[in-house]
Chains A and B, each alone.
Chain A
Amino acid sequence: MSGVRVLVGTRKGAFVLTSDGARRTWDIAGPFFGGWEIYHMKGSVVDPNRIYASQSSGWFGQLIQRSNDGGKTWEPVDNKFTYEGVPGTHMWYDGTPHPWEFKRVWHLEPSLTDPDTVYAGVEDAAMFKTTDGGKSWHELSGLRTHGTGSKWQPGAGGMCLHTIILDPNHPGRMFIAISAAGAFRSDDDGATWRPINRGLKSQYIPDPDAEVGHCVHRLAMHPSRPDVLFMQKHWDVMRTDNGGDSWQEVSGNLPTDFGFVIDVHAHEPETLYVIPIKSDSEHYPPDGKLRVYRSRSGGGEWEALTEGLPQRDCYVNVLRDAMAVDRLDSCGVYFGTTGGQVYASSNAGDSWTAIAQNLPAVVSVEVQTL
């Protein structure tokens, strides 16, 4: 492994940050697609030079861009995301039925075995798949139509499918999360789905432990233990040890258990990272201090990581897809803020450096270990 490539999606374009294995100096390339919202970029693990980007705009809608040279050049591929059959309705903010309408792609997850196969999580929540490198997309409609879809409701950010995790040990098994419906699992490559929300409690819905309706912000998994998932919910940090069949809370001593991101150390499956945010209306860190919290015990006990991070007058947010880890021997951790900073740690969070300071608001961060 010789270096790291950090893919940063922002409200006004994409940036590609590169460094060698020492991770001390960084080159910043971009903006690509200046003026467009880049909700997510992700590279194929099979062919790291193949990268997909979700490019969208309130004016011009959705595009999918593809790079075959590690993000140096890009080509637009197909942008047609059409729900299968008659889309039907989900629940609107006021409880009335609302027609399903495609708005944008939140997350792109390339297959673990084929660079031409990619899954896309979209708003209004649904799952799409391409098997031809993005030239055509078709819906995996079993998710949207599995039975609870008509009860799903948007969160403040829209009704988005924002997390897709492919299980490397069980082909065909995948986990997804939707705000504000909850987490779901498929064991047949997306053909059929079931909600996996037992143990979640959400005081902001009429039935706090309902089957669906939970505002899950993010899921994370270590590939060596695919039955163990971690969740940052709207409020609460949660953990499951049985593939989502049941969850328990591991918020422990966090200063607040509201937040968006959660991720797992590349080599230590019980080491987690979250960034507590004060509340669902105050989308900034408590006390003006930007602190990453690390647990080395799979949750419950957390320590604040502060070295190199602003510890006064800091009121940025860190959005749900804006944290990632690299796989170098000393695990690197990265996150981006709505203030346009990208922070990196090359020592598993012990200390941090801003590797970009003045980008547009960061929406997503992904890392490729090269």
Chain B
Amino acid sequence: MIRVFLPAHLRALASVEDEVALDVAAPVTQRAILDALERRYPVLRGTIRDHVTAKRRDFIRFFACEEDLSHEPADAPVPAAVTAGSEPFLIVGAIAGG
């Protein structure tokens, strides 16, 4: 299972209180994780990436294993620890707004 941690506002939208556990088929990539997340919680469509281009929203960041994966290709494999479920895939609202 892939563990996904959402920012507070998106947890409220999805009506979840903690991490989300998702079944994601290999190869596990950012795109595969987000596809699975949006299938489970359709209300999140458009809040993390653009509806049409599927581009990450400007003030969203993807972290895992203490690395910033935000600029990695959407189809690149995520770290093995995320695939193994020992580390969460973090979706983070960037520091912005002063």
- Identify the A interface with B (CB < 8 A): 35-36, 57-63, 76, 79-80, 82
Q: Which residues of B contact A76 (CB under 8 A)?
A: 13, 43
Bound state CA distance, A113 and B48, in angstroms?
35
**What distance in Å separates the Cβ of B9 from its nearest Cβ neighbour in chain A?**
6
User: Is B10 engaged at the interface, CB distance under 8 Å to the other chain?
Assistant: yes
- Is the Cβ of B10 less than 8 Å from the Cβ of A60? yes
- Is the Cβ of B59 less than 8 Å from the Cβ of A58? yes
22 interchain pairs, CB-CB under 8 A: A36-B9, A57-B9, A58-B58, A58-B59, A59-B7, A59-B9, A59-B57, A59-B59, A59-B96, A60-B9, A60-B48, A60-B57, A60-B60, A60-B93, A61-B46, A63-B13, A63-B47, A79-B46, A80-B45, A80-B46, A82-B51, A82-B52
User: Is B21 engaged at the interface, CB distance under 8 Å to the other chain?
Assistant: no
Q: Which residues of A contact B47 (CB under 8 A)?
A: 60-61, 63, 79
With beta carbons under 8 angstroms apart, the residue of B7, B13, B46, B96 that contacts A62 is B46
Contact size range, B:
10 to 19
Q: Which residues of A contact B93 (CB under 8 A)?
A: 59-60
Question: Using a CB-CB cutoff of 8 Å, which residues 56-97 of chain B contact chain A?
Answer: 57-60, 93-94, 96-97
**What distance in Å separates the Cβ of B53 from its nearest Cβ neighbour in chain A?**
10
**What distance in Å separates the Cβ of B87 from its nearest Cβ neighbour in chain A?**
23
Interface of B is mostly: loop
Bound state CA distance, A347 and B93, in angstroms?
46
Q: Which 7 A-B pairs have the closest CB atoms?
A: A60-B47, A59-B93, A59-B59, A79-B46, A80-B51, A76-B43, A61-B46
Q: Which residues of B contact A63 (CB under 8 A)?
A: 13, 43, 47
Q: Which residues of A contact B9 (CB under 8 A)?
A: 35-36, 57, 59-60
**What distance in Å separates the Cβ of A335 from its nearest Cβ neighbour in chain B?**
26
Bound state CA distance, A35 and B96, in angstroms?
13
Bound state CA distance, A67 and B47, in angstroms?
20
Q: Which residues of B contact A79 (CB under 8 A)?
A: 45-47, 51
**What distance in Å separates the Cβ of A328 from its nearest Cβ neighbour in chain B?**
36
Smallest CB-CB separation from A57: which chain B residue? B9
**What distance in Å separates the Cβ of A105 from its nearest Cβ neighbour in chain B?**
12
Smallest CB-CB separation from A83: which chain B residue? B52
Q: Which residues of B contact A36 (CB under 8 A)?
A: 9
A58 and B46 in contact, given A35-B9, A82-B51, A82-B52 (Cβ under 8 angstroms):
no
**What distance in Å separates the Cβ of A86 from its nearest Cβ neighbour in chain B?**
12
**What distance in Å separates the Cβ of A81 from its nearest Cβ neighbour in chain B?**
8
Given contacts A57-B9, A59-B59, A79-B45, 6 further A-B contacts (CB under 8 A): A35-B9, A58-B58, A58-B96, A59-B60, A59-B96, A76-B13
Q: Which residues of A contact B10 (CB under 8 A)?
A: 60
**What distance in Å separates the Cβ of A279 from its nearest Cβ neighbour in chain B?**
25
Q: Which residues of B contact A61 (CB under 8 A)?
A: 46-47, 57
Q: Which residues of A contact B57 (CB under 8 A)?
A: 59-61
Q: Which residues of B contact A59 (CB under 8 A)?
A: 7, 9, 57, 59-60, 93-94, 96
Bound state CA distance, A79 and B9, in angstroms?
16
Smallest CB-CB separation from A77: which chain B residue? B43
Question: Using a CB-CB cutoff of 8 Å, which residues 18-53 of chain B contact chain A?
Answer: 43, 45-48, 51-52
